[in-house]
Chains A and B, each alone.
Chain A
Amino acid sequence: MKKAKRLSAGQVVLGFFLLFITLTMLVPLLNILAKSFSSPLESPLMGGLTIFPKDVDFINYKIVFSHPILVPALINSIIITVVGTVVNIVLTTTAAYVLSRPKLTLKGPIMVFLIIMMLFDPGLVPEYIVVQQLGLMGSKWSVILVTAVNVYYLVIMMRYFEKVPLSIVEAATIDGASHLQMLFKIFYPLSKAGVATITMFYAVVRWNEYFRAGIYLTRKSTDTVLQVILRQFVVLGDTVSIIGQQNVFDYNVMARVDYDALKGATIIVAIIPILILYPFVLKFYAKDVFSGGIKE
């Protein structure tokens, strides 16, 4: 006797438990979003579980997008993310192309070198001194170049390139294709998912970078990136430098804004690029993970 799908008690308990876990992730985010869109008179009174804005107001976002420190930081973040990701992709894919050639004579020693580089972390100060020695202090290139290649992503890329059929490569070689032509006309098109995956990963890491920007880009207050300002404001609770000493004294619009809601708006601005990239990450990387069904 086969019964139509009826939920067992176990399924219900499991469902509620997993729902609870996802709510611990969704509710805080929606709460921050709701507060950031509420008027400064309402938002301080909203609890931590409210997910709908009260008396919708864009004041927090107006402040963020006209702020003398936040706006340059946002622009710097975008520049470092775009240029940095391009540097990442160019270096990683060319290196993966070379190292995925099956008969490369020096492949063994180079791979050993890379694995040692991956395993052994020289630490913060030795790297800091190199950035000083190279005169990169205060330049965006410090942050961009220090993390130019990630060995894990290089290995992922090699796995994709190794799947390109040798017959195609040989045919192209006979036709006299150069290595760069090979890379652009054969390897990129045939490994689209792989290139897309590491592009997303690199871009996310670039956008989220705060630590190196915080120690290398300290010359001027307008040198730094959004995540560093966010840390100063949200984590260290430094409201004065964000609001501005003068505004605090004058007790004008800036000083009367709800700091928590303004922090919320800054957090939301820092999350938006991630939310834009996230569907693509799921599409290219985690695609197979969604297909599995229950087997009984």
Chain B
Amino acid sequence: MDKDLLPNRKHTYWQRIKSERVLYLLLLPTLIFFILFRVLPIINMRLAFFQFRSRGNWPFVGLKYFRIIFSSPGFKQILGNTLIISFMKYILLFPAFVIFALMLNEVRSFRFRKYVQVVSYLPHFLSWVVIAGIWISSLSLAGGVNQIMAFFGRDAVDFMTDREKIRWILMICEAWRSMGWDSIIFYTAIIAISPTLYEAAEIDGANRMQIIRNIILPALVVPMITMFILNLGFFLNAGFDQVFNFSNQAVESTIDILDTYIYRIGIEGGQYSLATAVSLIKGVVGVVLVWSTHIFAKRVSGTGVWS
């Protein structure tokens, strides 16, 4: 058989790429960005197994830094704080986002609903520094919250330095900031429900609660799963920016999380290798969490996070 009659796949593959070279040239700046600021840092993560030196080679030290981390009593406390705060924000608070969307949908007045939406979406766009500023001011001894408490005859509380309350404050603040914006995913799923379903339910004599339970909630299952998996991916983050701006010496021990620990030992303390080792643990666990829940959700419901 004549060799030339067989299609030469490899040749055409490279020729196709060559014919697209202008496109790859356009993509080049973005690829350079990812190589410089994402791939190089990933290569730098080897620092977890090496001792840092600003000049010359980094000597290999094996698992030294991981041993230090796992044997330090502080790390257990920090990991515990991270898991507790994540649990409160991502699991305990989870129904609030769905309930907010349901409540919004029950409002009859178009103008009042729009007012609630415009106001409740706004905090999502404020910086964490600004949010902390607003909350510190509102929760201070002379702030609005204590003024309301005084009206009901309660003693003033210095909320921001109260170790018992600070985690709840973080959770409520998270709701305050994201309830509006993050419930959009559920609200759009509700308004996408076909009106014929409601008409049929009305003919059958269903009341509002039955409509919510049998028509609206089933439509929210898929967005709930998507949101839940995304939240799991953040589980070891627990919201660094919030904790970083809400923390103070009085409450640090109860809300110190992995990322604030990394910042403190890495950037403030200059212990680059130790901080990198914590980041490596965090990164690997995060990827495993997202990947496994993605596969699990895909098997259960046919919907994963990205495909």
Contact = CB atoms under 8 A, between A and B. Distances in A.
Given A146-B37, A289-B188, A231 B245 contact: yes
Q: Which of B13, B117, B138, B147 has the most CB of A within 10 A?
A: B138
Those 7 A-B pairs whose CB atoms lie nearest each other, nearest first: A123-B279, A292-B191, A48-B144, A208-B127, A126-B44, A122-B41, A126-B41
A97 B104 CA distance: 37
Contact of A48 (B104, B137, B244, B267): B137
A175 interface: no
B267 A286 contact: no
Contact of B33 (A123, A149, A227, A278): A149
Q: Which of A19, A106, A227 has the most CB of B within 10 A?
A: A106
B175 to A, nearest CB: 9
B33 to A, nearest CB: 5
B127 A207 contact: yes
A102 interface: no
Contacts of B17: 105-106
Interface in B225-261: 233, 241, 244-245, 259
Contacts of A278: 122, 125
Nearest to B211: A296
B144 A296 contact: no
B283 interface: yes
Interface residues of A, number: 93
13 contacts: A7-B108, A48-B147, A91-B30, A92-B30, A94-B26, A117-B39, A123-B280, A125-B44, A127-B41, A227-B130, A234-B132, A271-B130, A292-B105
A84 interface: no
A9 interface: no
Given A25-B176, A48-B147, A274 B41 contact: no
B16 interface: yes
Interface string B267-296: 100001001101110110011001100000
A128 B266 CA distance: 9
A176 interface: no
A21 interface: yes
A129 B184 contact: no
A135 interface: no
Interface string A80-94: 000000000011101
Interface of B: 13, 16-17, 20, 22-24, 26-27, 29-30, 33-34, 36-42, 44-45, 47, 103-108, 110, 112, 114-123, 125-130, 132-138, 140, 142-148, 176, 179, 184, 187-188, 190-191, 193, 195, 198, 202, 208, 233, 241, 244-245, 259, 262-263, 266-267, 272, 275-276, 278-280, 282-283, 286-287, 290-291, 306
Contacts of A277: 125
Given A122-B44, A295-B193, A267 B287 contact: no
A126 B138 contact: no
Contacts of A115: 306
Contact of A123 (B119, B195, B276): B276
Given A125-B276, A231-B129, A14 B40 contact: no
A24 to B, nearest CB: 6
Main secondary structure of the interface of A (DSSP, over half): helix
A124 B144 contact: no
Main secondary structure of the interface of B (DSSP, over half): helix
Given A123-B282, A179-B23, A281-B125, A49 B33 contact: no
Contact of A290 (B45, B114, B208, B286): B114
Nearest to A99: B27
Contacts of B283: 120-123
Contacts of B233: 119
A99 B123 CA distance: 33
Interface string A96-125: 011101001110001001110101111111
Nearest to A95: B30
Interface of A: 5, 7, 10-11, 14-15, 17-19, 21-22, 24-29, 31-32, 47-49, 90-92, 94-95, 97-99, 101, 104-106, 110, 113-115, 117, 119-130, 133-134, 145-146, 148-149, 154, 178-179, 204, 207-211, 215, 227, 230-231, 234-235, 260, 263-264, 267, 270-271, 274, 277-278, 281-282, 286, 288-296
A284 to B, nearest CB: 13
Contact of B38 (A49, A110, A117, A128): A117
A235 B279 contact: no
Contact of A230 (B104, B117, B129): B129
B13 to A, nearest CB: 7
A123 B40 CA distance: 12
A125 B267 contact: yes
Contact of B137 (A10, A121, A122, A264): A264
Nearest to B307: A115
Given A19-B116, A145-B36, A227-B130, 16 more contacts: A5-B108, A48-B143, A94-B26, A110-B27, A124-B259, A126-B40, A129-B47, A145-B37, A211-B241, A211-B244, A234-B132, A282-B118, A289-B191, A292-B105, A294-B107, A296-B198
